[in-house]
Amino acid sequence: MEKIRIIDSKKHVGETVQIGAWIANKRSSGKIAFLQLRDGTAFFQGIVVKAEVSEEVFETAKSLNQETAVMITGEIREDSRSKFGFEIGVTDIEIVGESKDFPITPKEHGTEFLMDNRHLWLRSSKQHAVMQIRNAIIYASYDFFAENGFIKFDSPILSGNAAENTTELFETDYFGQPAFLSQSGQLYLEAGAMALGRVFDFGPVFRAEKSKTRRHLTEFWMMDAEYPFVTHDESLDLQEAYIKALIQGVLDNAAFALDALERDTDLLQKYIDTPFKRVSYDDAITLLQEHEADEDTDYEHLEHGDDFGSPHETWISNFYGVPTFIINYPASFKAFYMKPVPGNPERVLCADLLAPEGYGEIVGGSERETDYDVLRQKIIDFGLDPKDYEWYLDLRKFGSVPHAGFGLGLERMVTFVAGTEHIREAIPFPRLLNRIEP
Ligand code: ATP
Ligand code: MG
C-alpha cells in the first residue's frame, strides 16, 4: 500500500493509502468518530464509521489523545464541504507514538505560555500557516534572484570589527580576541558585486535590539542584494519587482495558508497590481505636518531632520494604501556608506520601503559612496576607525563603480504577507530581548 502525504490527495482519490499523522482534535459519537488530523503538509479530516471497521479500530479511534501519532489506513475521498477538499475514510489505525496531556489545548492560552511551548505551538494551524508562508517567500526569493541573474554569495557571520552600528552588536570571544556577530552582510556583498556582478545573500543577522517592539527580533534572516553599474533609481525598480514577486509566490504556492489566516488576498493582489509610491523624506515630513491637526491622526509633530517613529510610518503608508518608498533621508541618521544626493550633502540616496497596514519598514537600501577620499572621511566623521575598513576602502581603489543594494528582513515580510500581529510568530524560534529559549 502506498504511503502518501495528504497534500498529494488529488492523485489518489478512490485509492486506499496510508498516511502518517498526528491527532489535532477529535469528536466521536456512538457510531462515528471524526478525527482532525495533521500530517505536516495540511490539516484534514479522518472519518471512522463504527459499522465499517473492526470493533478494535473503532475503540482505538475513540481513545486517541491530542497529538498521538498514528499511521492511518483508508480511502481518499473528495470532500466538497471542507476547505481542504479531501478526507480519508479510515479503515485502520496503528498507534505510532502515544501522547498524554498535551499542554496546548484548543482553549485560549496566554502569549508567554505559548512562547514557552514554542516547540509545540508550531504544530497549531495558525503557526503552520505562517511557516508555510515563510517558506513560500524564501523559495520565491531564490527564484527571483536566479531569474534576474544574481549569484548567491554568502557573507561571513563572524567579524573581527564592528561594521556599522556599534551599540547593537553582540560580542563573542574568538580565541582570546573580540569578535562580533554580523548585523548585515552588506559590506562583504559589495566585495562580491565587484567580483561576480549581481549578488545576493540570505542568512541570519544579529542585533542587540534593546527596545521591545512588535517589529524587532535580536536574530533575524536578511536577504541582501548588491549590484554594480546601477543607480539608486534603478535599484528601486528592482526592489519593487522583487517584493511583488514574493507576494505572488505566496499567492501561487501558499494560498491555503493565507486562507487559514483569513488574510485579505484582494489586498495582496492590489499591492502587486499597483505601482508602489515613491516619496522623498522631505515631502513626507511636509505631508505629516499638513495632516497633524486632522482629527484621525495622533502622531507627534516632526521637523525636517527628525526621524520617523512607527506612528508616522503607519500613517504615511496608510495614506497611500500601497507599499511606499521613502527616499533621500537625512545623512545624519543613515549609515556612513550611503552616497549623498548630488547637490545636497544633507540627504542621501537611499530608501526605506514601508509596508501598508502598519507593518512598518520591510526593506532598506541605498546607492553606495564610490569615492575613496569621501568614503574615508565619512568613516572618520562617523567616529569609526578607517583601519577597520581598509579592505572595504580597497573596493574604491581598484575600479570603483556606481553600485546599489538593499536588504529585506524576511520576518518583516512574513508578518506583512501573513497579516500577523507580532514578528515573533514569523520565525520558528524567535529570539527577543527577554527570550532565548526554547
Ligand atoms: P528599523 O528602523 O525598523 O530598526 P533598520 O533601519 O535598523 O530598521 P536596516 O538596517 O535597514 O533596518 O535593515 C534592513 C531590513 O532588516 C529592514 O528593512 C527590516 O526589514 C529588517 N530589520 C531590521 N532590524 C530588524 C530586527 N531587529 N528584526 C527583524 N527585522 C529587522
Ligand atoms: Mg534598527
Give tens-digit pLDDT for 60-70. Answer: 999 999 999 99
Query: Among residues of the chain, what percentage have pLDDT more than 90?
Result: 92
Residue 311 lies in a domain: yes
The predicted pLDDT at position 118 comes to 98
Is 435 part of any domain? Answer: no
Both 224 and 158 in a single domain?
Answer: yes
Same domain, 78 and 123: no
Q: How far is CA 299 from the centre of its chain?
A: 27
Residue 299, classed as helix, strand or coil, is coil
Atom 30, ligand 1: residue with shortest CA distance: 409
Q: 1 lies in a domain?
A: no
What distance in angstroms lies between residue 343's CA and the mean position of ligand 1's atoms? 28
Q: How many CB atoms lie within 10 A of CB 188?
A: 22
Same structural domain, 318 and 383 = yes
Q: How remote is the CA of residue 366 from the centroid of ligand 2, in Å?
A: 15
- CA angle centred on 316, ends 218 and 430, rounded to 5°: 15
Q: Is residue 26 in some structural domain?
A: yes
Q: Give the pairing of strands 32-38 and 16-28.
A: antiparallel
CA dihedral 357, 362, 364, 365 (to 10 degrees): -100
Does residue 78 sit in the same domain as residue 133?
no
* CB of 220 sitting under 6 A from ligand 1: yes
164 lines ligand 1 (CB under 6 A): no
293 C-alpha to ligand 2 centroid (Å): 29
Residue 110 in any domain: the answer is no
Ligand 1 midpoint to CA 337 (Å): 17
Q: Which residue, of 97, 131, 161, is where some domain finishes?
A: 97
Mark whether 124 and 89 lie in a shared domain.
no
Does 12 sit in the ligand 1 pocket, CB within 6 Å? no
Q: What is the pLDDT of residue 165?
A: 63
> For ligand 1, atom 19, which residue shows the shortest CA distance?
409
Give the pLDDT confidence score for residue 164 in this predicted structure. 63
Asked whether residue 188 falls in the same domain as residue 320, the answer is: yes
Which pLDDT does position 211 carry in this prediction? 82
Nearest ligand, CA 209: 1
Summarised one tens digit per residue, pLDDT across range 408-433 is 999 999 999 999 999 999 999 999 99
362 Cβ inside 6 Å of ligand 1:
yes
pLDDT for the residue numbered 106:
84
Q: Please state, in angstroms and rounded to a whole number, the distance separating the CA atoms of residues 73 and 64.
A: 15
Q: Which residues of the chain have pLDDT under 50?
A: none
Give residue 44's pLDDT.
Answer: 95
Determine the pLDDT at residue 370: 97
Domain-located, residue 199: yes
Domain that holds residue 68: 6-97
Q: Which residues pair with 201 in a beta bridge?
A: 224
Q: Are 224 and 316 part of one and the same domain?
A: yes
Residues 155 and 253 in one domain: yes
* Residue 405 CB contacts under 8 Å (≥ 6 apart), including other chains: 186, 189, 190, 193, 224, 225, 226, 227, 235, 365, 366, 368
Q: Is 364 in the pocket of ligand 1 (CB under 6 A)?
A: yes
> Within this chain, do residues 275 and 406 fall inside the same structural domain, yes or no?
yes
103 falls within a domain: no
